Amino acid sequence: MHSSDRDRIVLAAVVFAVLFSQLLLYPGVATLVETLGADATASPFAASALDASMWFLVAEFAAYVAFVGVWGAASDMTGRRTPFIVAGALAGSVGYAALAAVPAIGSIPFEGVLVLRVAQGAMTIGAFSLTMTMLMDLEGGHGRNMGAAGIAIGLGAALGAPIGGQLTELDPLAPLIGAAVLLVCVGGLVSIVEDRTPSQRRTARALVDGVRKRPTLSIPYAFGFVDRLTAGFFALVGTLYFQETFGLDPAATGLLLACFFAPFALLQYPMGALSDRIGRTIPIVVGSLCYGVGILAVGAAPSVTAAAIAMITVGVLGALVSPATMALVTDIAAESERGVAMAGFNIAGSLGFLGGFLIGGTVASSYGYGLAFLTVGSLEIAIALIAVPAFLRLSIGRNERLGTEDRGGA
């Protein structure tokens, strides 16, 4: 096996582990925040189960937005990735363990829990984003590399959700303990991969200026934002919607979420390779249009069976869009700026998750689930329509060919 192929598998396993640990918490988030002390009488952030769950998820992604750029810049400036990934993973493990210890301590207000959640998120995002960047550094075709990342993300989410639901049935704190253990494993696993970071070192100012000179990065960033917004929407609002509308328990909710994440995961690599052959425009633009329609279909589904079928369809369409979008970042970014460029993409994605939590949660709480699904699905359709002239005007096709030039090295 070529060393790049081996390292692609190992790095994909690391991405899987980080996402798996994150998704363990989602199906039982309402039960978890109650166990961690969410009380409507003691905290304005816990006025309801939806509010407490929303702020618990928002705290982590707010930390992602605030710190992912710091990790990316530090990696590009020093010409190293592995030490930062190990440090982020181990510190993130400590954060999950600290959250699991909260009930035993018993005197931490819910605001304190949110502070711990911010600290845990600030560390975890370093391990996630820089592992993605290490995949960008590999030979073999940007679509293939990002397809490997995508299948890891999808599998982590697909398996994390149902297993997290089962763990919650055993003990609400079990997902936190599992996440802490997994991140320790991440720290050990990534250390066996060759660090291929470009040796050219850059100052922080030069890195930022370099990214600013590539305005076409705004296109994959915009799609990354909206795509992650829909994921955040399903993680919070979708979870509560399925439970309230169809009377599902956390375990069954996890299985229904897996109807999306399973095809989303399994098709990432072939879809990424497909985008190396046909370019990024069709998978991103056409895929996003259909993806938005699929979200509307989930919200209109009259039964669990219909919802499951709609979720499978949305998962297939998401697999078409996701690796092509990430590969476009790699196509455009300079080698010495990949850490910052991927950090920018993850900032956009984290803001999208925040938007999914806040917009979806607020609209669902104030106006009902129907309007929430309509809002999020329409945003996905709108960004695809807006992007059509941008793809044509900026001639992204010229950049797309970059994704195929290094395939001979694999």
Lowest-confidence pick of 166-175, 197-206, 362-371: 197-206
Task: Please give the pLDDT value at position 393.
Answer: 63
Other CB atoms within 10 A of residue 382 CB: 14
Confidence class of residue 409 from pLDDT cuts 50, 70 and 90?
A: very low
pLDDT for 277:
82
Neighbouring residues of 276: CB distance < 8 A, sequence distance ≥ 6? 141, 142, 143, 144, 327, 403, 404, 407
What is the structure's pLDDT at 325? 86
Question: What pLDDT does residue 400 have?
Answer: 44
Give the global pTM: 0.73
Average pLDDT score over residue span 271-277: 84
DSSP state of 249: -
The model's confidence at residue 157, banded by pLDDT at 50, 70 and 90, is: confident
**Residue-level pLDDT at 73:** 85
pLDDT > 90 fraction of the chain, expressed in percent and rounded: 26
Domain that holds residue 296: 3-197+210-403
Overall average pLDDT of the 26-32 stretch? 87
In a domain, 285, yes or no: yes
205 within some domain:
no
The pLDDT of residue 179: 95
Contacts of residue 279, defined as CB under 8 A and 6 or more positions apart, other chains included, come to 396, 397, 400, 401
How high is the pLDDT of residue 309? 94
Position 64 scores a pLDDT of: 86
Residue 207's alpha-carbon distances to 68, 122, 127, 212, in angstroms, are 14, 21, 20, 9
- Residue 307 belongs to some domain of the structure: yes
Indicate which CATH number applies to the domain containing 161. 1.20.1250.20
Structural domain includes residue 203: no
- Rounded-to-integer distance, Cα 342 and Cα 15, Å: 14
What is the residue whose two structure tokens read 């010495």? Answer: 336
SS3 303: coil
Residue 61 lies in a domain: yes
For residue 356, tell me if it sits in a domain.
yes
Angle at 379 between CA 274 and CA 58, to 5 degrees: 95
Count of structural domains, the chain: 1
pLDDT at residue 399, as a whole number: 44
Q: Looking at the domain assignment, is residue 408 inside a domain?
A: no
Instruction: Indicate the pLDDT class of residue 16, thresholds 50, 70 and 90.
Output: very high
Average confidence (pLDDT) over 379-399: 70
Question: Distances in Å between the alpha carbon of 253 and those of 41, 240, 243, 258?
Answer: 28, 9, 7, 9
Question: Is residue 404's pLDDT more than 60?
Answer: no
